[in-house]
Structure 1
Amino acid sequence: MYVCLCQGVTEGHIRDAIYEGCCSYGEVRTATGVGTQCGKCACVAKQVVRETLSDLQSAQASLAYPAAYASA
C-alpha cells in the first residue's frame, strides 16, 4: 500500500529501510523521503515504523534463547 503519494513511498519501502538499518521514523524519513512534502502521510508512516520495529524486536527476543531452553 502506498503511504506517501507525494514521494511514492510504500509500506514495503518503509519496512525495507528498517531492515537495512533505520531505527527511527527520522531515519526512515531521511532514507525514503516519506513525510517530506505535504506531511499528510506522517501518522501512517510512523505507525508502520512502530509496528515494524516492534515485530523485529519480538522476533529477536524469540531468538535470544536456544530452542532447548525455550521448550523447557
Structure 2
Amino acid sequence: MYVCLCKGVTDHQIRDSVKAGARSWREVQSATGCGTQCGKCACAAKTITCDAVMTELKASAKGLAYAV
C-alpha cells in the first residue's frame, strides 16, 4: 500500500529499508524520502517503521539462550 503519495513510498519499501539496516524513523526517512514533503504520512510511516524494527529484532533474537 502507498504510505507516502508525494514520494511514492510503499509500506514494502519502508520494511525493506529496515531489513537493509535502518533502525530509526530518521534512517527510514533518509533512505526512502518518506515524510519529507507534506508530512501527512509521517504518523502511519512511523508506526510501520516501529513494527518492522520490532519484527527484525525478534527475528534476530530467535535462538538466543537466556539465563534463567
- The question of a shared fold, defined as TM-score above 0.5 by the shorter chain, is answered with yes
Aligned to 2:48, the other structure's residue is in SS state helix
Q: Percentage identity across aligned positions?
A: 49
Partner of 2:47: 47
CA distance in 2, matches of 1:29, 1:43: 12
User: Which runs of structure 1 show a deviation greater than 4 angstroms over 4 or more consecutive aligned residues?
Assistant: none
Partner of 1:62: 62
Unpaired runs of 5+ residues, structure 2, are: none
Structure whose CA Rg is larger: 1
Deviation at 1:59, TM superposition (A): 1.4
CA RMSD of aligned residues (A): 0.9
Unpaired runs of 5+ residues, structure 1, are: 66-72
Give the TM-score of the pair, scaled to structure 1. 0.85
Give the TM-score of the pair, scaled to structure 2. 0.90
The C-alpha deviation readout for 1:17-46, integer Å capped at 9, x for no partner, is 111111100000001000000000000000
Partner of 1:32: 32
